[in-house]
Amino acid sequence: MGVSSIEDVLFPGIDVRLEGVSVTTTMLFVDAAACGRPPSCPGCRWRGRRVHSTYRRNLSERPFGGQKLVVRLQVRRFFCDRNSCARRTFVEQVDRLTERYRRFSLGLKEWLTTVAVERLCRKLNLAAGRTCLVELLEEPPAPEQAPRVLGVDEFALRRGRRYGTILVDVEAGRVVDVLPDRTSETFGAWLTSHPGAEIICRDRASAYTKAIKEAAPDAMEVADRWHLLQNLSDAIEKTCHQHRPCLKKHAERGGDRPIQMPLVDALPPTRIVQRVLQHHAELTRMVAAGHPLSDIARRLGLDRKTVRRYRDTSLDHLLDSARDRRPEKLDAFKPFLQQQYAVGITNGRILFQQIRERGFRGGYSTLTPYLRTLKAGTAPTAPAEIPSPRRITSWIMRNRELLSTQEVEHLDQARLACPDIARACDLARAFTDLVRNRRGQLLPAWIRQAEHSDVLPVAKFAAFLRQDFDAVTAGPTHEWSSGKVEGHVNRVKTIKRAMYGRAGFRLLRTRTLSRT
């Protein structure tokens, strides 16, 4: 095939001059140059007359002769001679071949669009979309027998309203089935029709426990270790919330000067505070009227766990959580600013630069009103910094060797401030040690110690463990856990987002089991 014929095939009716062709074992390179009439400026439509320079663009093109094709196209850059135009130069685009910023030709773009958007079926006049094609896949059959080590967990079909159940072969790391709800009847029926599970890993959901005891009484239940630590973390955080006055008094006593806390006449009118007040009022009224938790959750559009937390937690505790999430940006830096102002550093720009170096992310306009109060002598004494309950909980639940020196000092101060926080810390450290090092034989003694302690949230957590004692003991004893199950739950969430909720449970189950 001659050069002119190649040019007719590659650039039919396009203002391009073929300059050469080179071939490798896997690629075909075509050197060409644009030779059309000068183009117009894309900004002002003024036709270019003077060439500024030339350069080459590499364009991926449709395969030719079974090989990948790259067009090395020389294009011209023109001056825009119109004084009122903001552009000084512009590059020509070859009609039916190039597009601005595009690294492949318009012909290849059409092919890719056909495959990615029109799904090729539309090109062949077949009425079939992406979801329809996936629905043609046959549902993989579930195994006749359950795997030896079965993992079970729930996932949201519609958060707060409908949930499904995913079943995973923990040893093989693959999904064996997906159930349309999370009721004990459905899971129990599946266990009855698929016998063989010897070990069942689960979280603390009571519905799954009931199904296992009825349909697979010989199977060993293993409570997930991560969920145990998470439940303990919630109890520790609640303890720290209850003893914030102790932390405040200790901070005031330990300061270099007395602390004068500014009076707060009302709650800040933030959306989260208003939402907490509204939910608490409605929930309190419905609980007093005798409505069950599931009915309250459905009417308020909340998860059952959220409803239970609102029911079992005081309003002050809930509002403290709401306040902690919305701190003022400057509060943490006010003690430093007052200290610098007292030693004579009063320049606003210098102070702004200093707090920026220490992590302040606000603007200078946030700082200036506070500086005016410092200059006038009307600024209230900065309150001593009190770590939030969540931060103290993170220090307690993490390994002490992984804490920084400053974090260790803050934790020690919190322990000195409140004996209950110190006891909760000791109990938490003992529990995390036996869980992480799989010393399940020590769990009965820990439960007795926690139940007889004065730390009420931890004592309730220990009593809750006793209700599920066998599974909780198996969790820190054996190697099995629900880690692989949680990974597949995240995968189901990804599949749901890709489907945008437009398909039903059957399609979700098919895609989950077939890995498409």
**pLDDT by position in tens, the chain (length 516):** 555 567 777 888 899 999 999 988 888 999 999 999 999 999 899 999 999 999 999 999 988 877 889 999 999 999 999 988 888 999 999 999 999 888 889 888 887 766 655 456 666 565 555 655 565 556 677 788 888 999 998 888 877 788 888 899 988 888 898 888 888 899 999 999 888 889 999 887 778 888 888 888 888 988 888 888 999 999 999 999 888 888 878 776 654 343 333 333 344 556 777 888 888 888 888 888 888 888 888 888 888 888 888 888 878 777 766 654 444 567 778 878 888 888 888 888 888 888 888 778 788 888 888 888 888 777 776 666 678 888 899 999 988 888 888 888 888 888 888 899 999 999 999 999 988 888 888 989 999 999 888 889 999 999 888 888 888 888 888 888 888 888 888 888 888 877 766 667 877 888 788 764
What's the pLDDT score for residue 254? Answer: 57
CB-CB contact of 153 with 139 (8 Å)? no
Would you call 194 helix, strand, or coil by DSSP?
coil
- Secondary structure letter of residue 135 according to DSSP: H
Burial label for 348, CB within 10 Å (0-12, 13-18, 19+), is: middle
CA 433 to chain centre: 28
What's the pLDDT score for residue 332? Answer: 73
What's the pLDDT score for residue 344? Answer: 85
448 phi/psi in degrees, rounded to 5:
-65, -40
Which one-letter amino acid corresponds to residue 492?
Answer: V
Burial label for 441, CB within 10 Å (0-12, 13-18, 19+), is: exposed
Q: Which residues contact 45 (CB under 8 A, 6 or more apart)?
A: none
> Can you tell me the distance from the alpha carbon of 297 to that of 309, in angstroms, rounded to the nearest whole number?
12
> Can you tell me the distance from the alpha carbon of 2 to that of 418, in angstroms, rounded to the nearest whole number?
91
In sequence order, what are the beta bridge partners of 60?
70, 104
> Can you tell me the distance from the alpha carbon of 508 to that of 492, in angstroms, rounded to the nearest whole number?
8
Q: In what helix (H) or strand (E) does residue 202 lie, and over which residues does it extend?
A: strand 199-202
> Can you tell me the distance from the alpha carbon of 289 to that of 307, in angstroms, rounded to the nearest whole number?
15
Query: According to the CATH classification, is domain 149-224+481-514 in 3.30.420.10?
Result: yes
Would you call 55 helix, strand, or coil by DSSP?
strand
CA angle 495, 497, 499 (to 5 degrees): 70
> Can you tell me the distance from the alpha carbon of 455 to that of 469, in angstroms, rounded to the nearest whole number?
21
> Can you tell me the distance from the alpha carbon of 237 to that of 218, in angstroms, rounded to the nearest whole number?
37
394-432 burial: b if 16+ Cβ within 10 Å, else e? bbbbeeeeebeeebeebbeebbebbebbbbbbebbebbb
What sign results for the dihedral spanned by CA atoms 443, 448, 454, 456?
positive
CB-CB contact of 228 with 477 (8 Å)? no
Cite the DSSP H helix spans in 325-418. 334-342, 348-357, 364-376, 389-397, 405-417
Would you call 198 helix, strand, or coil by DSSP?
coil
pLDDT tens digits, 183-193: 889 999 999 98
30 phi/psi in degrees, rounded to 5:
-120, 120
Q: How far is CA 143 from CA 99, 166, 468, in A?
A: 53, 14, 30
Which segments of 35-133 are extended strands (E)?
51-64, 67-79, 89-91
> Can you tell me the distance from the alpha carbon of 408 to that of 393, in angstroms, rounded to the nearest whole number?
13
Would you call 149 helix, strand, or coil by DSSP?
strand
- Secondary structure letter of residue 383 according to DSSP: P
